[in-house]
Chains A and B, each alone.
Chain A
């Protein structure tokens, strides 16, 4: 039983910001204490600033067993929410609700399945969570960005499994859109594909995969915008 007066108890959905981790000029992660709820890698949360009146949904960037709950955020120029989030000082409170969503995989599938993760920009977030949760997973991660600096935390992935596609400069493993790279690939018939990011990339990748003969049931999508 709690010894605190109920009206003094802190809402369990409030978290103190532990770090705003700068990744690029406009991308950062928000690190919070370990989640007080169980989540499945691939799910998302709703994040608001305590005292504010808006919230946004973000895929969880950290693994299920990590000591921190973390989300990956791209600052929207002249946006309302993300600039405020970026300016948050350590110790400030945010409000977290969730977890939400069905993107991801069952633990058993992670042990035995063969996966190709296809992400554009910050769409890599759920895949980092999955890879951190299931270190032994058989995956290939195709990450499409404009500039190489957007290869968020790419050092964490096995370099033989991570393919960076850069569209605006020739500094990735592949110069061009990830869909261009995807066309050149061959995959085992039993592969499962998980796509996350902007809808145009997802539509194009979906077409390519279907042209390669993969069934729609093998392809799972999470649209960001």
Chain B
């Protein structure tokens, strides 16, 4: 019995897929990268953009054609909008929310011998997160031996108007800190080097259990304390935080402990106050500026990443100029810039998408040019210096080894050395370009 799983979207889905794999392999299924070999085909979908959803529709159409020739069970989970979910009920055999993962084996067993009739599927309801804890108890089957994702929080209470995640993942629920710490400790003891704490609003951790659970800063401090007693070198990241819940204490804790990576991903989305209000971001540019000032003061060596949406409803040239100004001011090392596209289920879906596609492309290009300049300046400042690098891949063009610094800047090595894979090594930076550096192992 083989299964094939397609994971679309963010690291949350990657972390979820590790738990899905764990459940399936616990049932005796074996993973295959070739979908034609599998009798169980699944997708962890992403609704943040239209493209991945289109991919789900294309895949299931193809798989359902295969059903004429062989027995198959298909399933879909992940971030699903109610409208898509309703359609998927007719095309997939099984649909479940991540909180229902512990019941997934029963769903498959109920299916018995595969028939085209399909299995009763859960009703189309808004996701309820009360049972998410059971999903977290499932031990994941990690896809890497040195990089791992640890979910610490699920859901979102922020209701940004461009996003449907609160309607697909449900309310913010924090995972018990003792479970998180145990998973982190186990990973470190197994030799994992890069551990990313995951959540839709990762730094909102604990806010749903005020007084009963430690805060996000407290969680980081506990991990930091463990790091000090561990003989292993490892870096702990977190993504994605929301500026609304970011505070100086979190930054102080990161500054205090070596194992807390000096890289902060702080989604800005827009540099314009009015656009932020229209996005319902619930943070002002003043607030964002204060956070960045705290980072620069307490962790001057930290790299700063962000997310930006260009062409949101209401973003005229004047508003966009404020985003340009902010990009120049904050000098990001990396910015994930997306052109706005209305998402069904999000509040802004019913607003006029008034910025033309050409203007969006042009704005994306202009911001990308600024990013190249600011990241290049940072990378040049590292020339001749020795940095710690986690070797984690090979360059597609040259075939040489590549890795990420603690600040998650890509460094291309001058040779291929598979023995370094998954290790943290010293590398001297020999050249710098806009979004990466080159170096040699010393």
Where the two chains meet, the residues of A that have a C-beta atom closer than 8 Å to any C-beta of B are 11, 13, 46, 53, 55, 57, 97, 100-102, 199, 202-203, 206, 216-217, 221-223, 225
Contact = CB atoms under 8 A, between A and B. Distances in A.
B318 interface: no
B161 to A, nearest CB: 7
Contact of B161 (A100, A102, A223): A223
Interface in B268-309: 273-274, 277-278, 280, 282, 284, 286-287
A223 B126 contact: no
A97 B126 contact: yes
Given A100-B166, A221-B277, A11 B123 contact: yes
A57 B347 contact: yes
A217 B284 contact: yes
B86 interface: yes
B400 to A, nearest CB: 48
B191 interface: no
Nearest to A195: B277
Q: Name which of B83, B123, B277, B351 has the most chain A CB atoms within 10 A of its CB.
A: B277
Contacts of A11: 123, 125
Nearest to A220: B282
- Ranked nearest first, the 8 interchain pairs of A and B with the lowest CB-CB distance are A97-B126, A216-B284, A203-B274, A221-B277, A199-B278, A101-B159, A223-B278, A216-B286
B2 to A, nearest CB: 34
Contact of B86 (A53, A101, A221): A53
B213 interface: no
B159 A102 contact: yes
Contacts of A221: 277, 280
A102 B157 contact: yes
A46 B126 contact: yes
Contacts of B286: 216
B158 interface: yes
Interface in B154-180: 157-159, 161, 166-167
Nearest to B167: A46
B118 interface: no
A206 B83 CA distance: 36
Contacts of A202: 277
A13 B351 contact: no
16 contacts: A13-B125, A46-B167, A55-B82, A57-B347, A100-B157, A101-B157, A101-B159, A102-B157, A102-B158, A202-B277, A203-B277, A216-B287, A223-B161, A223-B278, A223-B280, A225-B350
Nearest to A101: B159
A108 to B, nearest CB: 13
A102 B282 contact: yes
A15 to B, nearest CB: 14
A221 B277 CA distance: 7
Interface in B103-125: 123, 125
Interface string B247-274: 0000000000000000000000000011
A217 B166 CA distance: 24
Given A216-B273, A223-B277, 7 more contacts: A55-B82, A97-B126, A102-B157, A206-B274, A216-B286, A221-B277, A223-B280
Contacts of A102: 157-159, 282
B159 A100 contact: yes
Nearest to B282: A102
B314 interface: yes
A206 B282 contact: no
A102 B347 CA distance: 15
Contacts of B166: 100
B236 to A, nearest CB: 28
A69 B69 CA distance: 52
Contacts of B282: 102
Contact of B126 (A13, A199, A216, A225): A13
B243 to A, nearest CB: 13
A203 B166 CA distance: 25
Nearest to A80: B350
B318 to A, nearest CB: 12
A53 B126 CA distance: 13
Given A216-B284, A216-B286, A199 B314 contact: yes
B159 to A, nearest CB: 5
Contacts of A222: 280
A206 B277 contact: yes
A137 B273 CA distance: 29
